[in-house]
Amino acid sequence: MILYDMVQAPNPRRVRIFLAEKGIEIERVEIDIPAGQNRTPEYLAINPRGVVPTLRLDDGSIIDESIAICRYFEGLQAEPNLMGRDAREAATIEMWQRHVEFDGMFQVASIFRNTAPHFAARAHPGSAPDLPQIAALAERGRALVPRFFDMLEKQLANNAFVAGDRFTVADISALVTVDFARWVKVRVPESCVQLHRWYAAVSARPSAAA
C-alpha cells in the first residue's frame, strides 16, 4: 500500500492527520504538484484524475479523495473512532465534514487556485484541461469564508469539537482549512473566541504535525 502525498498540500494533510490519530504508518511517495508531477504520464497511469492524495492498494487499484481514503482506514481499524459509531453520529459527523468542505475548504481553495501565480493556466485541480483563473471566483471565496468562520464559532459555542463532544474527521477538515486560509492571508477574526479556543486545542494534538 502506497500513499501518493504532497507534504505542503491541504488535502493530503487531512489523510496524514487521520492516519496519525489512528497510529497507522504507511509508505508515502511525494508528488510535487506545482512542478507538474501529478500530470506526468507515469502518475496519470496510476490515477488518471491526477490528484493527490491517492492510495494505491497492493493489487494496483486506487482510492482517491481524502475522505474516501479516511473511510477505508476507518473500516480497517475502527479505533480511535473518527467517523461515527452509529447512524446518528455517522450522519452528524458527515454533515459537519461536508459543511467544512463546501462552506470553508472549497472557498479557500477557490481563492488559492484562482490567484496563485503557478496555477495561472490551470485553475482547476488534477488532470483537468488547462483553464484560466477567474478573479471574480476568488472574490466570491473571500466573501464566503467569514460566513464559514461564523458558522463554526456558533457551533463551537455549544460543542467542544466541530461535530460534537469529541474529535472527529470534521475537526481534521476544519483544522486544515483554517491553516490553508493563511496561504491566502485570510485569518480567523479575534472575535471568534470559541474558534480560537478550539484551534489551540486541535493544533496541540500530536497528529497536527503530520
Q: What residue ranges bind its own copies (CB under 8 A)?
A: 48-49, 57, 63-65, 67-69, 71-76, 86-88, 90-92, 94-95, 98-99, 103, 123-124, 128-129, 131, 134, 136-137, 140, 143-144, 147, 151, 154
State the minimum distance, in angstroms, from the CB of residue 209 to its own copies: 25
Whether residue 53 has a cis bond before it, omega within 30° of 0: yes
Please give the grid coordinates belonging to residue 188. 480567523
Check the CA dihedral 136-137-142-147 and report its sign. Answer: positive
Could you tell me the smallest distance in angstroms from the CB atom of residue 188 to its own copies? 19
Cβ distance to its own copies smaller for residue 123 or 208: 123
Q: How far is the CB of 85 from its own copies (least distance, A)?
A: 10
Q: Which residue, 57 or 120, has its beta carbon nearer to its own copies?
A: 57
Other C-beta atoms closer than 10 Å to the C-beta of 103 total 18
DSSP 79: S
CA geometry: angle 64, 65, 71, nearest 5 deg: 95
**194, containing H or E segment:** helix 193-203
For the bound state, the minimum distance from the C-beta of residue 90 to its own copies, rounded and expressed in Å, comes to 5
Q: Which three cell numbers stand for residue 125?
A: 485541480
**Least separation, in Å, of the C-beta of 200 and its own copies?**
26
User: Which stretches within 29-187 are classed as H helix?
Assistant: 41-46, 66-76, 87-99, 106-113, 135-158, 169-183
Question: Kind and range of the H or E element at 22?
Answer: helix 10-22
We find the least distance from the C-beta atom of residue 22 to its own copies, in angstroms, to be: 12
Compare residues 21 and 64 and give the one whose CB is closer to its own copies: 64
Closer to its own copies by CB, 49 or 205: give it: 49
- The residue whose grid cell reads 484560466 is 132
